[in-house]
Each structure stands twice: as structure tokens, then as C-alpha cells.
Amino acid sequence: MFIDRAVIEVRSGKGGDGAIAFLREKYVPKGGPAGGNGGRGGSIYLRASKTINTLFNFRHSKTFIANDGEKGGIKNQYGKYAEDVIVDVPIGTVVFEEKDHVFLGDLNEEGKMIRVAKGGRGGRGNSCFKSSTNRVPKIAENGEPGERKRLILELKLLADVGLVGFPSVGKSTLLSVVSAARPEIADYPFTTIVPNLGVVSVKDGSSFVMADLPGLIEGAHQGKGLGLQFLRHIERCRLIVHVLDMSESGRDPFEDYKIINKELEAYGFALDKRPQIIVASKMDEEGAEERLKKLKKQIKKDIIPISAITEEGIDELLYKCAALLKETPVFPLFEKEEEELLDHKTYTLMEEEPFFTVTRIKNHVWNIGGEKMLKFYKMTNISTDEGMMLLMSKIRSLRIDDVLENMGAEDGDTVILDDFEFEYVR
């Protein structure tokens, strides 16, 4: 069975809570704040790996969980961060978040990784806060919660050549003749209900992968017949072999040809722009020659006549496929790079005038500015612990740490907001 779609759940770890602690030293009467930061929770990554060929192992909704970061300790001890979890998936897996079907990435190259659930940041311990009015704060941040998502994994067939055509035109038969694949063959429509793959070795020494796809009918792009599900599989084929039935099937091959091409075009993804080889099948049947003659006048393009029974035209077809593949690049499925999309959350806060700005003052020192942010700061009484907590939760909800991270801040960097200072925590 060929499984090409799976739903999994991923849960990244929560950040460890920051600690509240004080140094008590003999000759320092009050001591200073000394609560350490919590460690970052583990993230979850998907990685493309050639060691896996199908999504079979993900068949029963699987859950992947990363650990939480450790709590911060006393005496400024940092909590330990949790290890990230890396899940290997087959090359060619495309990842969507189930909710709203948001595209997360295309794992189309060996070793490529995408982060699908981000580990929560560790909370700041009280030693992080330095203000002139509240020198010994008794507050700490809790760790940021982890993310929980359901993901749809889709593996598209990585076939070079896709056989398309109406049901029963002989697609599976052709695949069985040119490769070791053994698809089901019968004279009723929709015999093939899942795609079959075969490796074709051409006599010139080259080889390619051919996919036998379920038959298409008019309206396939709207889901008719086996429809959409299978148009999806053609997306990655670099070359289309369009099979037309020359037997006395009662159908008009020219009509078939036009209908299928219309379906491909309507589906999008520039399918209609892929090179296409037109094949006239079942040439051993009576009357096939006449029908081919007529078809050639109608289509006015090269048509390769073949018969799976006499093997007429098979070599010619395979040579033609191999030659065209050499000059046909892989088609990009999505225009956007996933790097652009991954951290998109950070940039959704933009108003006409940003609430805050972040500037690098010098190495490891950052300044938060912006009129609105400064106004908020001035109106918050951080000489009380409650006030300071309010300020920190504002900083968190604005995702200022994420912006700092994107700008290259490092763990322990100093962040200045007017006369208040705190540490950046990774």
C-alpha cells in the first residue's frame, strides 16, 4: 500500500520558570537578587531523509513531544535547556498546519530541516531585572508555553514521468511492460486507485521513475472521479506521457485529449506547461491505424504509436522520455521560501507606527525605544513588583525577545528601556 498523507501532532517543550532568590552573604546585609533564568523548552524539527521512503510509519496519528526546559536555580544558576526533537520524514514531504492549512515547508532535499514547533523561552529569574527604583525585585517570569500543532504531511510521488489519460486506456499495462511494477490491470474504469511507481531502465543506460496514475475524467480538477487526489501526484512529474486509446473503445481520442489537457490546465501549478509526449496505445487492435491517421490530422503534433502486446514503439517512447528528462528541470511547487514564512508571527504586530523599536547600541547592548513603548513604561510603576511584572508581560506579549533573536541578540545581552535594564534570554 502506498501511503502519502499523514497527520501528526507535535508539542514543543515549555520554557523553564525563572527563579526568585537572593544572595545572603555575611557582610552584605540585604544581598542582591540571584534567581537564575529557566532553560528553553525543546523545539521539534522535521528533517528530510533518504532513509525513509513513505509516510507509512506515521499512519496512525503519531505524537512527538519535546521536553520542558528546567527551572532556574538559586545563585544565578541557569536551568538546563531541553534537547530538540528531530523527526525524519521522506524527501519530498510537504508540511502544512492542519488548522487553516498553512504551508510550513517543503522538505525537498536531503538533510533539509524545518522547525514545526518552537520551544518556549525560559523565564527570567529576578537577577535579570535592574532598575534604579526596584533594586531587589521579588519577581520572576514563568517559562513561555510550548506550541501544540497538528500537522498534515503530504508526500508527493517523486516520479519523473507521469502517465495520464482516461480510465482503461492502458496506462497500467504500459508501466507493467516497461518496469518491474505489477499494477492491477483490467478493462473496467478506475482499476488503478492508488498510484504505482516503477523504475524504468532504458537501453542507453539511463533510468527514470514512471508513475501510473489513476484515470482522469472531465471535472477531475473539481474532484470528479478520483479527481484532485491524483492530480496532486502529477505535480512533481517532470514529464507527462498522455495515453490515448486507439481501440474501438467508443470514445473519441481527440476529445479525450482536449478534455485531459483542460483538466491539467484548470488544476494549475503550470501543469500544462510541462513537456508532454502523446502516445497512441493499443495499436495492435483492429482499426487502430485508421484512427491514428485521423488523430494525427487533428492534433498536428508528434504521436508515438505503441502496443503493450507487440511492444511496438516502446523503445522509441522510452528514448524520447529519457532525452526530454535530460533537458527538463525540476518544477518548483511553491514560489516562496519557507524561511520567509517560518517566523512570520514576529512581523504581524506592525501598525502604522510601531509600538516599539529595537536598536543595537553596541556589542551585546540593545535599546528598546518607540513613543508608545516609552509611554507605557512611564505609566507603569516598576518600583512595585506588580508593576514590574506588568511591564515584563507587556514585553513578552509584544514578542520583543523574538525580534531581538532575529536581530542576533545573544543569551545574557543587556536590554535597556529608558532607566530600566534586563537581560535577554534565549
Ligand X SMILES: Nc1nc2c(ncn2[C@@H]2O[C@H](COP(=O)(O)OP(=O)(O)OP(=O)(O)O)[C@@H](O)[C@H]2O)c(=O)[nH]1
**Residues lying near ligand X in the complex (CB under 6 A):** 165, 167-173, 185-187, 189-192, 214-215, 281-282, 284-285, 307-309
49 interacts with, out of ligand X, Mg ion, none, CB within 5 to 8 A per kind: none
Cβ atoms of 8 and 153 closer than 8 Å:
yes
**How open is the CA angle 337-341-347, to the nearest 5 degrees?**
135
Give 70: exposed, middle or buried? Use CB within 10 Å, 0-12, 13-18, 19+.
buried
Q: Which residue has the cell 494549475?
A: 268
- Our CB check for ligand X shows the closer of 79 and 167 to be 167
Angstrom distances, CA of residue 305 to CA of 248, 311, 402: 15, 10, 61
170 interacts with, out of ligand X, Mg ion, none, CB within 5 to 8 A per kind: ligand X
| DSSP H stretches of helix in 303-399 | 314-326, 338-342, 371-378, 385-397
Nearest approach in angstroms of CB 426 to Mg ion is 54
| Nearest residue to ligand X on Cβ basis | 215
- Our CB check for ligand X shows the closer of 164 and 409 to be 164
Q: Which residue has the cell 529519457?
A: 322
List the one residue out of 257, 239, 324 whose CA is nearest residue 297.
257
- Our CB check for ligand X shows the closer of 190 and 347 to be 190
240 interacts with, out of Mg ion, ligand X, none, CB within 5 to 8 A per kind: none
Query: Would you state the torsion angle of the CA atoms of residues 215, 221, 226, 232, taken in this order, to the nearest 10 degrees?
Result: 90
Nearest approach in angstroms of CB 164 to ligand X is 9
Nearest approach in angstroms of CB 232 to ligand X is 16
Cβ atoms of 331 and 274 closer than 8 Å:
yes
CA gap 349, 180 in Å, rounded: 56
122 interacts with, out of Mg ion, ligand X, none, CB within 5 to 8 A per kind: none
> Which stretch, 53-61, 143-151, 186-194, 339-347, contacts Mg ion (CB under 5 A)?
186-194
407 interacts with, out of Mg ion, ligand X, none, CB within 5 to 8 A per kind: none
177 interacts with, out of ligand X, Mg ion, none, CB within 5 to 8 A per kind: none
> Which stretch, 68-76, 90-98, 190-198, 358-366, contacts Mg ion (CB under 5 A)?
190-198
3 interacts with, out of Mg ion, ligand X, none, CB within 5 to 8 A per kind: none
- Our CB check for ligand X shows the closer of 191 and 206 to be 191
Nearest approach in angstroms of CB 190 to ligand X is 5
- Our CB check for ligand X shows the closer of 73 and 215 to be 215
HSE value, Cβ hemisphere, 13 Å, CA-based, for 40: 14
Q: Which residue has the cell 488544476?
A: 267
173 is a contact residue toward Mg ion (CB under 5 A): no
Cβ atoms of 293 and 280 closer than 8 Å:
no
Site for Mg ion in 30-89 (CB under 5 A): none
Nearest approach in angstroms of CB 177 to ligand X is 8
192 is a contact residue toward Mg ion (CB under 5 A): yes
Nearest approach in angstroms of CB 150 to ligand X is 33
Nearest approach in angstroms of CB 101 to ligand X is 28
CA gap 199, 207 in Å, rounded: 7
Q: Which triple of cell numbers denotes residue 371?
A: 513613543
Answer for which of 37, 93, 126, 172 binds Mg ion (CB under 5 A) is 172
Nearest approach in angstroms of CB 194 to Mg ion is 10
Helix (H, G, I), strand (E, B), or coil: what is residue 141?
Answer: coil
H/E segment holding residue 294: helix 288-299
H/E segment holding residue 298: helix 288-299
416 interacts with, out of Mg ion, ligand X, none, CB within 5 to 8 A per kind: none
380 is a contact residue toward Mg ion (CB under 5 A): no
168 interacts with, out of ligand X, Mg ion, none, CB within 5 to 8 A per kind: ligand X
Query: What is the distance between the terminal CA atoms of the chain, rounded to a whole angstrom?
Result: 45
28 interacts with, out of Mg ion, ligand X, none, CB within 5 to 8 A per kind: none
Pairing of the two strands 303-305 and 357-362 = unpaired
Nearest approach in angstroms of CB 172 to ligand X is 3
Nearest approach in angstroms of CB 163 to Mg ion is 8
Angstrom distances, CA of residue 332 to CA of 116, 235, 263, 335, 425: 21, 9, 20, 7, 38
The C-alpha R_g of the chain, in whole angstroms, comes to: 31
Q: Which residues bind Mg ion (CB under 5 A)?
A: 171-172, 191-192
